[in-house]
DNA sequence: TTTGGTTGCTAAATCGTATTAGCAGTGCGA
DNA sequence: TCGCACTGCTAATACGATTTAGCAACCAAA
């Protein structure tokens, strides 16, 4: 059995003062309330001797703020990325002396409801509602019981919540520029989405926005996309198949793969055909999955800034909490976090 | 501004009874305390009408239990595996109606201290202290302030805490048996640790135990290990180098790679030498990293049961909490979670 | 008529802190 | 001598629940 925790009353008794005085001193309001130096020292010493730490539950009940936030995501495990997002949030939270509850909804609205309620029951100061891949979501109404932020997600219907997202359009531009700057103008194929803007899978935001950025830069440079293949799922085997299918009608000069797992499949297909990266075919991709640095040659890719997304979400959430407290009502903002290029070894000028 | 939460007092007033009665009814003790059917119904209806939910902070203060546990790990992001471990813990916690705090120590003892304190300040019912790869750890003394479990870790000094670990020795046996059953008796090389028991890197537990299991089964079958290479770090590039080095002195028949990332590097080295898996060389590995299913041919590997480890840790923690409450003192147990074989395409009988 | 047991409910204390309101004691000016 | 301001502290209350102790009303038995 653990020994009883030291309470404020214990400190007060040890210092020979009332709990009120002890509380005042320990919350730094001693000066303001004209507590004498001598008493202040006695309290401080007692607190230190007894190793006093305020009971956060009690403080939470009294003040209504718990220095706790909730991180709710659809799924944490599927994507590696998740880890870094949580890590970013965790470190930002730690910097503010705040703890993180986490919960997973698995996309189940009922679970979602229960989870949000459970968090509000515990008086969280705010909630980060995260999607593990960028997409539009239905904002659950339970979330409006307090400050909240959408992470990696956009509200499907108009909402008062701010969002934090990777800047996918600019990422698309970056990928396209990498090829242009290497001198590529012909034989550029897309793997993951078709060449046209409407050839994108499911409700994901990334596909559309990356494609938009790519098309913008290439069009501006007067370069035409040679072809593209949509992938039902962005997994290696689909990348493998899509690339094989492109190889049937000739050898491309460059591939823009819509994520690294697809690129992994593309490497396999190119290797089957005796083609070398980057001498025969340049490859650029998105995400910066750990895989990208393991592949040979190492994959040039535009990174999803998961860690930064997590941090940013906490920052934005605290701004929201501030607004709530002060009763300010503002237009919900959309925050875009830059996606940095990781230049590695899979892009080279096209063969003369 | 969010409307004030409904409290027990609101419910009591609406039902025209005292808070005591309302509390009794809602906690199911109405029968026992001889509350009439009629009053019971009134309270239930009022609670339902008002959508009453008890304030968990208040309950926590009053009862001392918060239905909250802490999950503290050295690092969540580095290893993919982490995600699944947390997921397992999360789901087990959800089944029990408990929320999870998470925190990362980054191996920093000072952070560790602060984190554990912050959790105890919030009156967590118990703590799971996890390492992201199996190893021995120094148990921080702050953890003893309440029930706790070690996950994926063994205490370096004797401790009262139970541990939950993957059964690495049996996993080693499994890997060895896979090769034996395929008919391999010669040319079996190890990648990751040297052939002798002492050729293992750093303080990891996995290396020693896997090797122990492997040696036990092979020795028993009268099979000698042909060779082995220790890897300073279990990353693809080290696997690549180690395998190259083995290939300099001949072609092995089978490789036991000590994890999938190493196996990934080994595949690259074999491919450089024009050797095919599994026709020329069989490969068996450990971990079941997502990568393993993407490699061609798909990698046969002995899986780390991360999800199950997470779940088990919660189960064991709750048993601990029970013991603490009832004042029972028991010997700390070590719980081993089986590592299942994932038979895929990288093992075949040796060429005749 | 008193005693005693049941029934059906409520008052009050408690958990550990923050905070508002107020209370003694001193000094000073009128 | 009274009133007033200031100093330095404390009593009391509130946060929202749980739980112990007890109260009023009624009936049955002695």
Q: Are B125 and B104 contained in the same domain?
A: yes
Segment A36-86, tens digit of pLDDT: 999 999 999 999 999 999 999 999 999 999 999 999 998 765 556 678 899
Q: Are A177 and A210 contained in the same domain?
A: yes
Q: What is the mean pLDDT of residues B103-120?
A: 94
Q: Tell me how crowded residue A98 is: count the other CB atoms within 10 A of its CB.
A: 21
With distances taken from each CA to the C1' atom of nucleotide D18, the closest residue turns out to be B62
Opening angle at CA B311, ends B310 and B314, nearest 5 = 90
Q: Are A179 and A298 contained in the same domain?
A: yes
Q: Are A183 and A297 contained in the same domain?
A: yes
Segment B38-50, tens digit of pLDDT: 999 999 999 999 9
Q: Tell me how crowded residue B131 is: count the other CB atoms within 10 A of its CB.
A: 21
Q: Which of chain A's residues have a Cβ under 8 Å away from the Cβ of B296?
A: 268
Give the pLDDT of residue B76.
60
Report the C-alpha gap between B171 and B214 in whole angstroms.
8
User: What is the least distance, in Å, from the CA of B158 to any CA of chain A?
Assistant: 19
Contact B56 A121 (CB under 8 A): yes
Q: Are B180 and B297 contained in the same domain?
A: yes
Contact A294 B264 (CB under 8 A): yes
The answer to whether B59 and B40 have CB atoms below 8 angstroms apart is no
Of B93, B155, B154, the C-alpha closest to B336 is B154
Q: Are A223 and A272 contained in the same domain?
A: yes
Q: How many domains does chain B have?
A: 3
Q: A260-272 vs A236-248: helix axis angle to the nearest 10?
A: 40
Q: Are B209 and B246 contained in the same domain?
A: yes
Of all residues in chain A, the one with the smallest CA distance to B116 is: A99
pLDDT band at residue A203 under the 50/70/90 scheme: low
Q: Assign A69 to helix, strand or coil.
A: strand
Q: Of A111, A123, A268, which has the smallest distance from its Cβ to B57's Cβ?
A: A123
Whole-Å CA distances, B143 to A207, B72, B97: 46, 10, 23
Q: Are A297 and A177 contained in the same domain?
A: yes
Domain-embedded: residue B59 = no
Q: Which of chain B's residues have a Cβ under 8 Å away from the Cβ of A66?
A: 57, 122
Q: Which residues pair with B333 in a beta bridge?
A: none
Give the pLDDT of residue A6.
95
Of the CA atoms within 13 Å of residue A331, those in its CB half-sphere come to: 3
Give the pLDDT of residue A1.
47
Segment B293-334, tens digit of pLDDT: 989 999 999 999 999 999 999 999 999 999 999 888 899 999
Opening angle at CA A166, ends A163 and A170, nearest 5 = 125
Q: What is the mean pLDDT of residues B194-209?
A: 81
First to last CA, chain B: 78
CA of A165 to C1' of C18 (A): 39
CA of B22 to C1' of D27 (A): 28
CA of B122 to C1' of D10 (A): 29
Q: Are A208 and A332 contained in the same domain?
A: no
Q: Which of chain A's residues have a Cβ under 8 Å away from the Cβ of B1?
A: 324, 327
Q: What is the mean pLDDT of residues B170-182?
A: 98
The answer to whether A206 and A172 have CB atoms below 8 angstroms apart is no
Give the pLDDT of residue B30.
86
The answer to whether A239 and A295 have CB atoms below 8 angstroms apart is no
Six-digit token pair at A155?
Answer: 């509200």
Domain-embedded: residue A235 = yes
Question: Does the pLDDT of residue A231 top 60, yes or no?
Answer: yes
Residue the block writes with tokens 């409904």:
B6
Q: What is the mean pLDDT of residues B70-81?
A: 74
Six-digit token pair at A218?
Answer: 């290439």
Give the pLDDT of residue B203.
62
CATH number at residue A285: 3.40.50.2300
Whole-Å CA distances, A214 to A23, A179, A193, B110, B310: 60, 10, 12, 47, 42
Strands (E), B193-294: 227-230, 254-257, 282-287
Of B175, B162, B208, B191, the C-alpha closest to B315 is B162
**Shortest CA–C1' contact from B35: which nucleotide?**
C8
The answer to whether A93 and A113 have CB atoms below 8 angstroms apart is no
Segment A232-277, tens digit of pLDDT: 889 999 999 999 999 999 999 999 999 999 999 999 999 999 999 9
User: What is the least distance, in Å, from the CA of B38 to any CA of chain A?
Assistant: 29
Of B234, B243, B264, B348, the C-alpha closest to A267 is B264
Question: Does the pLDDT of residue B78 top 60, yes or no?
Answer: no
Burial bucket for residue A186 (CB in 10 Å: 0-12, 13-18, 19+)? exposed
Q: What is the mean pLDDT of residues B101-114?
A: 93
Give the pLDDT of residue A78.
52
Disruptive mutation site among B74, B91, B121 for chain A (greatest number of A CBs within 10 Å) = B121
Q: Of A58, A290, A296, which has the smallest distance from its Cβ to B268's Cβ?
A: A296
Domain extent at residue B155: 68-165+306-337
With distances taken from each CA to the C1' atom of nucleotide C6, the closest residue turns out to be B34
Q: Are A120 and A175 contained in the same domain?
A: no
pLDDT band at residue A31 under the 50/70/90 scheme: confident
pLDDT band at residue B196 under the 50/70/90 scheme: confident
The answer to whether B202 and B270 have CB atoms below 8 angstroms apart is no
Give the number of beta-carbon pairs within 8 Å between A and B: 133
Segment A142-159, tens digit of pLDDT: 998 899 999 999 999 999
3-state percent breakdown (helix, strand, coil) of chain B, nearest 5: 45, 20, 40
Domain-embedded: residue A80 = yes
Q: Are B174 and B297 contained in the same domain?
A: yes
The answer to whether A302 and A339 have CB atoms below 8 angstroms apart is yes
Domain boundary residue, one of B263, B282, B304:
B304
Domain-embedded: residue A352 = no
Of all residues in chain A, the one with the smallest CA distance to B57 is: A122
The answer to whether B41 and B11 have CB atoms below 8 angstroms apart is no
Burial bucket for residue A34 (CB in 10 Å: 0-12, 13-18, 19+)? exposed
Six-digit token pair at A231?
Answer: 């992938």
Q: Which of chain B's residues have a Cβ under 8 Å away from the Cβ of A103?
A: 90, 94, 99-100
**What mean pLDDT is reported for chain A?**
93
Q: Of B56, B90, B104, which has the smallest distance from its Cβ to A122's Cβ?
A: B56
Give the pLDDT of residue A198.
80
Question: Does the pLDDT of residue B1 top 60, yes or no?
Answer: no
Residue the block writes with tokens 């450089």:
B272
Please, where are the H alpha helices in chain B?
A: 8-15, 19-26, 37-50, 56-63, 80-95, 109-121, 168-182, 205-220, 236-248, 260-272, 291-294, 306-326
- Any strand D atom closer than 7 Å to B56 CB: no
* Sheet of A188-192, strands arranged across: A227-230, A188-192, A254-257, A282-287, A300-303, A341-342
Residue the block writes with tokens 């993407």:
B294
Disruptive mutation site among B2, B54, B57 for chain A (greatest number of A CBs within 10 Å) = B57
With distances taken from each CA to the C1' atom of nucleotide D12, the closest residue turns out to be A20
- Any strand D atom closer than 7 Å to A121 CB: no
Report the C-alpha gap between B285 and A121 in whole angstroms.
46
Domain-embedded: residue B34 = yes
Report the C-alpha gap between B179 and B171 in whole angstroms.
13
Opening angle at CA A255, ends A251 and A259, nearest 5 = 145
Domain-embedded: residue A103 = yes
Strands A282-287 and A341-342 turn out to be unpaired
Q: Assign A296 to helix, strand or coil.
A: coil
Domain-embedded: residue B83 = yes
**The whole model's pTM is what?**
0.91
Q: Of A58, A86, A102, which has the smallest distance from its Cβ to B61's Cβ?
A: A58
Contact B76 A99 (CB under 8 A): no
Q: Tell me how crowded residue A47 is: count the other CB atoms within 10 A of its CB.
A: 22
pLDDT band at residue A208 under the 50/70/90 scheme: very high
Q: Are B122 and B233 contained in the same domain?
A: no
Segment B81-94, tens digit of pLDDT: 678 898 999 999 99
Q: Which of chain A's residues have a Cβ under 8 Å away from the Cβ of B68?
A: 101, 122
Of B170, B283, B256, B285, the C-alpha closest to B216 is B170
Q: Tell me how crowded residue A92 is: count the other CB atoms within 10 A of its CB.
A: 22
User: What is the least distance, in Å, from the CA of B127 to any CA of chain A?
Assistant: 14
Give the pLDDT of residue A2.
65
Give the pLDDT of residue A327.
87
DSSP character for A124? -
Give the pLDDT of residue A269.
95
Tell me how far the alpha carbon of residue B330 is from its chain's centroid.
23
First to last CA, chain A: 78
Question: Does the pLDDT of residue B349 top 60, yes or no?
Answer: yes
Domain-embedded: residue B344 = no
Six-digit token pair at A304?
Answer: 């999803």
Of B96, B104, B143, the C-alpha closest to B124 is B143
List bases in chain D with any atom under 7 Å of a protein Cβ. 7-12, 14-21
């Amino acid at each position: 059995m653990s020994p009883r925790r030291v309470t404020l009353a214990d400190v007060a008794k040890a210092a020979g003062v009332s709990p009120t005085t002890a509380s005042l001193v320990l919350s730094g309001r001693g000066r303001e309330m004209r507590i004498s130096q001598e008493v202040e020292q006695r309290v401080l010493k007692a607190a230190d001797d007894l190793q006093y730490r305020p009971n956060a539950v009690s403080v939470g009940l009294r003040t209504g703020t718990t220095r706790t936030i909730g991180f709710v995501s659809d799924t944490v495990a599927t994507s590696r990325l998740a880890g870094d997002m949580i890590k970013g949030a965790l470190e930002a939270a730690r910097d503010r002396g705040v703890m993180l509850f986490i919960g997973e909804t698995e996309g189940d609205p009922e679970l979602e409801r229960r989870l949000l309620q459970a968090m509000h029951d515990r008086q969280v100061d705010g909630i980060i509602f995260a999607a593990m891949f960028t997409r539009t979501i239905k904002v659950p109404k339970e979330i409006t019981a307090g400050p909240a932020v959408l992470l990696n997600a956009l509200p499907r219907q108009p909402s008062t919540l701010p969002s934090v997202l990777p800047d996918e359009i600019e990422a698309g531009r970056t990928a396209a520029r990498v090829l242009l700057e290497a001198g590529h103008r012909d034989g550029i194929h897309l793997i993951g989405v078709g060449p046209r803007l409407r050839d994108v899978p499911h409700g994901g935001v990334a596909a559309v926005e990356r494609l938009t950025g790519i098309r913008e830069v290439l069009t501006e440079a007067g370069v035409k996309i040679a072809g593209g293949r949509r992938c039902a799922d962005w997994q290696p085997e689909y990348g493998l198949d899509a690339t094989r299918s492109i190889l049937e009608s000739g050898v491309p000069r460059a591939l823009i793969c819509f994520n690294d797992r697809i690129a992994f499949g593309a490497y396999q297909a190119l290797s089957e055909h005796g083609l070398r990266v980057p001498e025969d075919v340049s490859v650029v991709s998105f995400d910066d999955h750990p895989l990208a640095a393991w592949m040979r040659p190492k994959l040039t890719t535009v990174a999803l800034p998961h860690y930064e997304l997590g941090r940013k979400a906490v920052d934005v959430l605290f701004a929201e909490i501030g607004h709530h407290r002060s009763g300010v009502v503002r237009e919900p903002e959309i925050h875009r976090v830059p996606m940095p290029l990781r230049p590695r070894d899979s892009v080279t000028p096209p063969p003369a």
